[in-house]
Chains A and B, each alone.
Chain A
């Protein structure tokens, strides 16, 4: 009933739900077998609050503030069309939710990192609703007690607790936005000694964990109203007469990927360094064959 993708006897195995084409579980392939861990991932969107900013309650979602209309995100689509691409070096799962949301899940041979390359846009606004698109990873049956960790503008990882501020009494009237925090390189959750997970990004984004085992990052926004904090324009970037298309990568790590040489902290620290300082790639046309070039 499921679709399994792996590259031989080392690295990650990925299981997709055959009904929906969505991620269902991942596991490390070891000589003594595979231990799969349940995990779901999909794309959702929040409707941006509209309003004329005449009063506080009519404040629109805009460039400065994230203010969704309602507390729940809507699925972009219930299922994704899937194409599986496999070869000696890399296995890819190309998923298409809608013409404006698609993704490549990527597993390189012998590498213990699940790469998710997202492509979002142009976000449609024909219905007159601004949309804010998120990627949400859910680890079922994991209790994280409303706690997650994010890094903050070059400082250390900071503990975030849902609907709580450590130095003052919070009455949260924004159940989603009030729990969103800057995520500059990673969002980490922990659920006991056997479960830690990190979602790492390639750019600063907003993110949260709204429920047990949830990890959520905001990817791309297109909004129709100014939020009256000073921009004076709605966050509605256009190019080629359409909304912008954005592409980027998220990387998922689980404590099961760790080993004696590299524990979970080592895993996300090492990957963070590699993402921050990627190789600089350049190309030069040549008329020489390989032996002469050498």
Chain B
């Protein structure tokens, strides 16, 4: 039953106006709201499933605390995620819905002025890179985020229909920060 809200929203959004974008604005707003509610409830279900798989801390001791529940950041497309921006340490969980292994470059929005240690589930350090968020993204109207960089690392061979997890720790270690920081060049145009 927890999936019904998303299923019903998807059903309504099969209407040709929703598919093609030809609805009036107030109808479009309603479509967005239905979809958002459905996705939110489904994400809660996925988070609960993670806790049963012991993917979430405390999942084997009567369920995790609210603060320990995974969050799905829908504003990653404007490089914004409150959890990764505010936390000194956090874990990144990547679920692969393909039926074969795949690799994926994770991009995690983070504030500048620090370095980030990335560790895989076996305790190995993972190579990572800090990439500045483009100025145009920082200026997107309505974007409310402290992230000025994206932490990029490679999640290698995520198992089919399975998970990989990484631990990210913020550090003031200047060596880390220097090693991770991208080289930035601004070539002058000839004309």
Chain A bound to chain B: yes
Query: Is B135 an interface residue when CB atoms closer than 8 A count as contact?
Result: yes
Q: Which residues of B contact A242 (CB under 8 A)?
A: 141
Q: Which residues of A contact B117 (CB under 8 A)?
A: 290
Query: Is B56 an interface residue when CB atoms closer than 8 A count as contact?
Result: yes
Output the least CB separation between A229 and chain B (Å): 8
Q: Which residues of B contact A290 (CB under 8 A)?
A: 117, 119, 123, 167, 169
Query: Is B191 an interface residue when CB atoms closer than 8 A count as contact?
Result: yes
Residue from B86, B94, B130, B136 whose CB has the most chain A CB atoms within 10 Å: B136
A90 to B106, CA, bound (A): 11
Q: Which residues of B contact A240 (CB under 8 A)?
A: 141-142
Q: Which residues of A contact B68 (CB under 8 A)?
A: 284-286
Are A280 and B46 touching (Cβ within 8 A)?
A: yes
A237 to B142, CA, bound (A): 15
Query: Is A288 an interface residue when CB atoms closer than 8 A count as contact?
Result: yes
List which B61-87 residues lie within 8 A (CB) of chain A.
67-73, 76-78, 81, 83-84, 86-87
Nearest to B25 among chain A residues (CB) is A233
Query: Is B21 an interface residue when CB atoms closer than 8 A count as contact?
Result: yes
A233 to B25, CA, bound (A): 8
Q: Which residues of A contact B21 (CB under 8 A)?
A: 63, 235
What is the count of residue pairs linking A and B with beta-carbon distances less than 8 angstroms?
190
Are A247 and B123 touching (Cβ within 8 A)?
A: no
| 8 Å CB contact of A84 from B67, B127, B187 | B187
Residue from A83, A233, A286, A289 whose CB has the most chain B CB atoms within 10 Å: A286
Query: Is B158 an interface residue when CB atoms closer than 8 A count as contact?
Result: yes
A248 to B78, CA, bound (A): 10
| 8 Å CB contact of B131 from A3, A92, A277 | A92
Q: Which residues of A contact B98 (CB under 8 A)?
A: 273-274, 277
| 8 Å CB contact of A104 from B96, B105, B134, B152 | B134
Q: Which residues of A contact B123 (CB under 8 A)?
A: 290-291, 294
1/0 per residue, CB under 8 A from A, across B19-53: the answer is 01111110010000000000000010011001000
Are B25 and A284 touching (Cβ within 8 A)?
A: no
Are B89 and A287 touching (Cβ within 8 A)?
A: yes
Query: Is B15 an interface residue when CB atoms closer than 8 A count as contact?
Result: no
Query: Is A170 an interface residue when CB atoms closer than 8 A count as contact?
Result: no
Residue from B131, B132, B154 whose CB has the most chain A CB atoms within 10 Å: B131
A3 to B189, CA, bound (A): 10
Are A102 and B134 touching (Cβ within 8 A)?
A: yes
Residue from B86, B117, B134 whose CB has the most chain A CB atoms within 10 Å: B134
1/0 per residue, CB under 8 A from B, across A1-14: the answer is 10100000000000
Q: Which residues of B contact A89 (CB under 8 A)?
A: 105, 127-129, 152-154
Query: Is A166 an interface residue when CB atoms closer than 8 A count as contact?
Result: no
Query: Is B113 an interface residue when CB atoms closer than 8 A count as contact?
Result: no
**What are 7 A-B contacts defined by CB distance under 8 Å?**
A19-B190, A83-B186, A86-B185, A232-B24, A280-B95, A281-B94, A294-B119
**4 nearest CB pairs, A to B:** A282-B70, A87-B129, A102-B136, A290-B119
Question: Which residues does A use to contact B, with CB under 8 Å?
Answer: 1, 3, 18-21, 63-64, 79, 81-90, 92, 94, 96, 99, 102, 104, 108, 119, 122, 229-233, 235, 237, 239-240, 242, 245, 247-248, 273-274, 277-291, 293-294
Q: Give 7 new A-B contacts, CB below 8 A, not counting A282-B46, A293-B167, A294-B122.
A: A19-B189, A122-B141, A231-B23, A233-B25, A281-B73, A283-B70, A284-B69
